[in-house]
Structure 1
């Protein structure tokens, strides 16, 4: 038989279908593979299970990556954010938004913290840091940021916060810390806070506001501590 005749005869043949399941394979030619129903079901279930496992693994990986990212911006002791949360993009967003809103910065320092560590030990000092972290967390709204800035110094960013409300929050933090029963048990006396504040504005970018809050914190210290300074 000539090759051309063979090709014509093959082309004229009708495919034979059975009751078995059929899978078409894209091999460049029309191929038909027949499977028993049980085998076809097994293939389908295997493919479905593989897809499910892949989705689960992807989700686990995303959660792991998210936790690792959080770990890099979280303070291990207090559970607050650390200063790494204020990367370039975050500060830039605060600066861009300062024309539309006023964000208040509270720079907080525990008075005579070195003496606490020297007289009562670093474990007691750590517990006091944790207590302050808890007080800050309880005082924050979802939009606010509470950051362990370094050592015994903390930074709070109150977004879209009127001056009167910022003053109320700052004094509430100071009073709650001074009256904390656990601290009174540990030290047999109150511990106090000094707080300097400043607000971002059209004329005051984040770095300048932070510097102003720092100078007001120094003023609170020089005026006898245990106070909040809102203006020069």
Structure 2
């Protein structure tokens, strides 16, 4: 139940009941020609007061009996909202902290690599593909990322199988480039095809970057091994 609704119910019960009770006391005093007594704590006095004003008093007590549990409910709702807000704040803070660590790590690693243009790496896409639900602090490795790693190894294995040094090799480096570009694109790596040896070097640095990132961020969850490349 919404706390605004509870508050409205409390006011709806308390205000009219208070007004009616006060008005009833006033009317009773006029009708019975009874003055509102001064403060009196004796048993006889209290009995007389209750007998004279029993209806408004009972009405007021009934209102209090209804309001007390509603007030308790209202307090509980405020407490629940406060807990939810604190939890939400903690979730956001952890998400930002983890993401900033990820970005800083990549910035440091990319600065050491020669062939990768840092602007070709979409860090947001990579981060979100890596984990199940980072926005809600679920940092388990995602099935999508597991498939991504499997596709990398699948392409490397196929190219290794086709590769034979010499003229009779079944390895087609342009087809290999096309396949690897498509796989890298799945985690936000926007690269283009190029001369055979240049692409081989770029591919090697990308695989090295992926491997180090996996070790740093996913080693507690899952261990990935990228196959060695025989082709060149």
Q: Which has the higher helix share?
A: 2
Q: TM-score scaled to structure 1, two decimals?
A: 0.34
Q: Which has the higher strand share?
A: 1
